[in-house]
Chain A
Amino acid sequence: MSDQEYIPKSKFGKWFNDRLPLLTLASHLTDYPTPKNLNYWWTFGGILTFCLITQIVTGLTLAMHYIAHADMAFESVEHIMRDVNYGWLIRYIHANGASMFFLAVYIHIFRSLFYGSYKSPREIIWIIGIIIYLLMMAAAFMGYVLPWGQMSFWGATVITNLFSAIPLVGEGIVTWLWGGYSVDNPTLTRFFTLHYLIPFLILGLVVLHIWALHVPGNNNPIGIDVKKPSKDTVPFHPYIVIKDGFALLMFMIVFAFFVFYAPNILGHADNYIEADPLVTPAHIVPEWYLLPFYAILRSVPDKLLGVVAMLSAILILAALPWLDTSKIRSAVFRPLYKQFYWILVADVLILGYVGAMPAEGLYLLIARVATAYYFLHFLLILPILGLKEKTLPVPLSITEPILGGSPNLATAKNKEKLNN
């Protein structure tokens, strides 16, 4: 992929590299030409890698103490919290790490939506990303079941019952998922197995995601193709490494505040009550990161169609590269799309909000409107907009922008803003 062939300096290095080109790979990764105008929204790829590694490391250590049995799971979590050396720290990092992971992935996804990173030639990167996101949701859901609290149990019951919406075979599938006639010990042990497996699948897909990224190279805030390497690019190391590192540290400060000062704020109090198949908690609410989809599910009055709507809301993203007909990638040069983009952001936030509220009255109405708009955005607005929209002139290269007098686009834009 690199333009010049890498030749190791030492004799041993050459011998080794001829047999397994790890040094070539390392050289490719350090020299990888990256557009130099990437802004901080681009640092979330690195942050997500950190999140995945954190979840895997803390998860492995927790698994050394956790007992996947309906009679002992809750107690073993308390054992981790009370007796295991630093057990409370590791568990709180893992539990809040899931939220941080989703926070970062949502920013990552919306960055891609704003700058059109999903468009040709990056469709495969985008689709792999959607698969990773689906696997993340599966992992997070099954992980939430493991403490075997009330929310674990009833969350598992509600989510697995979604499958019963499938005509004819639905009930059979649910029984198969449970390994019994209700969520019970067999369900817990298989969820633990899958929860342990999925992160490694994600890890493999992340490698493919990055591989697919390194073929065309990064998109960038102005969304034009960049000649690489050129004066428009910088080598990944040290320029991007240090910038990602800086952003990661900022992210870790937020992370640390949650872990050390509000470790339970993103969870639900009911999950500190041991699972009881006889009593359902008064408010069944999924974790915050699933709320928008939960709102979509509840906004459809039919069981099967509700499930279909919820799944479509995610799967529609996979078709996005073809639904968006615009040739221009970045929203910077698409004044109308930019406005619809922010409406979509607001729409998803509203869905998240009503997802946490009771499904009745005004909330239900809002949820229905927001759900309808969500689909409207992807199925109608985007295809038409791409054909009709009058876009702004796009610069020829990063160093020769049309806008402003500064060699840097971001600076030029900032100056513009200040002048207005």
Chain B
Amino acid sequence: MSEKKTNRRDFLFTATYAVGAVGLGATVWPMIDQMNPDASVKALASTEVDVSSVTPGKTITVLWRGKPVFIRRRTQDEITDARSVKLEDLKDPQKDEDRAKDPEWLVMLGVCTHLGCVPLDQKGDYNGWFCPCHGSHYDTSGRIRKGPAPTNMEVPKYEFVNANTIKIG
């Protein structure tokens, strides 16, 4: 009899604690989620860029989601350079064909994968990009070749809406 009573008491207290904990969790979530990107930020996820003025050998930098995106129209030399590299020489092996669908156009996030600085154009040991913060060298395909950065510069989702317009995102 008394044992039964104890059990029921334990159950009551356990249930109270459990239900209380659920409510606390449900209350905490909105306070955390409010720091995630809000609806207006999410709505701006894509941007369209007019590239009609970009001639071979030129790079333009545009802002997308608050970060720079490099759009480079590569010269024939750069394309040859980028495509002739052996995969085993690469820290983060990736074919240039996978990074630039149209070999003339390289579109990538201009953010060093080390700690987020913006690399300098046409600098470094591989004639691609060089990050001044901690000395990462990228090649003409934006792949990491030397320095502390762990991976190649990221290629965002993009498409040619027409011959002159690229839609990023």
**Interface digits, A347-375 against B, CB 8 Å rule (1 contact, 0 not)?**
00000000000000000000000000000
* Contact among A64, A82, A83, A90 for B30, CB-based, below 8 A: A90
Pairwise interchain contact B31-A87, C-beta atoms closer than 8 A = no
Interface status of B40 (Cβ within 8 A of chain A): yes
Pairwise interchain contact A64-B39, C-beta atoms closer than 8 A = no
**Interface digits, A52-82 against B, CB 8 Å rule (1 contact, 0 not)?**
0000011001001100000000000001001
With a cutoff of 8 Å between Cβ atoms, the chain B residues found around residue A419 in the complex are none
Closest A residue to B39 by CB, please name it.
A83
State in angstroms the CA–CA spacing of A86 and B31 once bound together.
Answer: 8
Q: State the majority secondary structure of interface residues on B.
A: helix
Please count how many residues in chain B sit with their CB below 8 Å of the partner chain's CB atoms: 10
- Distance from B65 Cβ to chain A, minimum over Cβ atoms (Å): 16
State in angstroms the CA–CA spacing of A86 and B38 once bound together.
Answer: 9
Interface status of A107 (Cβ within 8 A of chain B): no
With a cutoff of 8 Å between Cβ atoms, the chain B residues found around residue A79 in the complex are 38, 40
With a cutoff of 8 Å between Cβ atoms, the chain A residues found around residue B31 in the complex are 57-58, 61, 86, 90
With a cutoff of 8 Å between Cβ atoms, the chain A residues found around residue B40 in the complex are 79, 82-83
Closest B residue to A86 by CB, please name it.
B30
Residues of B83-136 at the interface with A, using a CB-CB cut-off of 8 Å, are none
Pairwise interchain contact B34-A82, C-beta atoms closer than 8 A = no
Interface status of B1 (Cβ within 8 A of chain A): no
With a cutoff of 8 Å between Cβ atoms, the chain B residues found around residue A64 in the complex are 34-35
Residues of B2-41 at the interface with A, using a CB-CB cut-off of 8 Å, are 30-31, 33-36, 38-41
Interface status of A89 (Cβ within 8 A of chain B): yes
Residues of B35-55 at the interface with A, using a CB-CB cut-off of 8 Å, are 35-36, 38-41
Pairwise interchain contact B34-A83, C-beta atoms closer than 8 A = no
With a cutoff of 8 Å between Cβ atoms, the chain B residues found around residue A61 in the complex are 31, 34-35
Pairwise interchain contact B33-A86, C-beta atoms closer than 8 A = yes
With a cutoff of 8 Å between Cβ atoms, the chain B residues found around residue A57 in the complex are 31
State in angstroms the CA–CA spacing of A287 and B34 once bound together.
Answer: 28
State in angstroms the CA–CA spacing of A357 and B38 once bound together.
Answer: 42
Q: State the majority secondary structure of interface residues on A.
A: helix
Interface status of A194 (Cβ within 8 A of chain B): no
Please count how many residues in chain A sit with their CB below 8 Å of the partner chain's CB atoms: 14
With a cutoff of 8 Å between Cβ atoms, the chain B residues found around residue A58 in the complex are 31
Instruction: Give the one of B30, B31, B39 with max A CB within 10 A.
Output: B30
Interface status of A84 (Cβ within 8 A of chain B): yes
Interface status of A10 (Cβ within 8 A of chain B): no
Pairwise interchain contact A82-B33, C-beta atoms closer than 8 A = no
Interface status of A85 (Cβ within 8 A of chain B): yes
- Distance from A95 Cβ to chain B, minimum over Cβ atoms (Å): 15
Residues of A70-121 at the interface with B, using a CB-CB cut-off of 8 Å, are 79, 82-87, 89-90
With a cutoff of 8 Å between Cβ atoms, the chain B residues found around residue A85 in the complex are 30, 33-34, 36, 38-39
- Distance from B45 Cβ to chain A, minimum over Cβ atoms (Å): 14
With a cutoff of 8 Å between Cβ atoms, the chain B residues found around residue A65 in the complex are 34, 38
With a cutoff of 8 Å between Cβ atoms, the chain B residues found around residue A82 in the complex are 39-40
With a cutoff of 8 Å between Cβ atoms, the chain A residues found around residue B38 in the complex are 65, 79, 83-85, 87
With a cutoff of 8 Å between Cβ atoms, the chain A residues found around residue B36 in the complex are 85
Residues of A264-315 at the interface with B, using a CB-CB cut-off of 8 Å, are none
State in angstroms the CA–CA spacing of A89 and B26 once bound together.
Answer: 13
- Distance from A93 Cβ to chain B, minimum over Cβ atoms (Å): 9
Instruction: Give the one of A57, A61, A64, A85 with max B CB within 10 A.
Output: A85
Closest A residue to B30 by CB, please name it.
A86
Closest B residue to A84 by CB, please name it.
B38
With a cutoff of 8 Å between Cβ atoms, the chain A residues found around residue B34 in the complex are 61, 64-65, 84-87, 90
- Distance from B34 Cβ to chain A, minimum over Cβ atoms (Å): 5
Closest B residue to A85 by CB, please name it.
B33
State in angstroms the CA–CA spacing of A86 and B41 once bound together.
Answer: 15
Instruction: Give the one of B33, B34, B36 with max A CB within 10 A.
Output: B34
State in angstroms the CA–CA spacing of A57 and B35 once bound together.
Answer: 13
With a cutoff of 8 Å between Cβ atoms, the chain A residues found around residue B30 in the complex are 85-86, 89-90
State in angstroms the CA–CA spacing of A99 and B41 once bound together.
Answer: 32
Instruction: Give the one of B33, B35, B38 with max A CB within 10 A.
Output: B38
- Distance from B25 Cβ to chain A, minimum over Cβ atoms (Å): 14
State in angstroms the CA–CA spacing of A58 and B31 once bound together.
Answer: 8
With a cutoff of 8 Å between Cβ atoms, the chain B residues found around residue A87 in the complex are 34, 38
State in angstroms the CA–CA spacing of A65 and B31 once bound together.
Answer: 12
Residues of A11-27 at the interface with B, using a CB-CB cut-off of 8 Å, are none
Closest A residue to B29 by CB, please name it.
A86
State in angstroms the CA–CA spacing of A87 and B35 once bound together.
Answer: 10
State in angstroms the CA–CA spacing of A79 and B38 once bound together.
Answer: 9
Besides the known contacts A58-B31, A82-B40, 7 further A-B residue pairs in the complex with CB atoms under 8 A apart: A82-B39, A83-B40, A83-B41, A85-B33, A85-B39, A86-B31, A90-B34
30 A–B contacts from the bound complex (CB under 8 Å):
A57-B31, A58-B31, A61-B34, A61-B35, A64-B34, A64-B35, A65-B34, A79-B38, A79-B40, A82-B39, A82-B40, A83-B38, A83-B40, A83-B41, A84-B34, A84-B38, A84-B39, A85-B30, A85-B34, A85-B36, A85-B39, A86-B30, A86-B31, A86-B33, A86-B34, A87-B34, A87-B38, A89-B30, A90-B31, A90-B34
- Residues on B facing A (Cβ under 8 Å): 30-31, 33-36, 38-41
Q: Which 4 A-B pairs have the closest CB atoms?
A: A86-B30, A83-B39, A83-B38, A83-B40
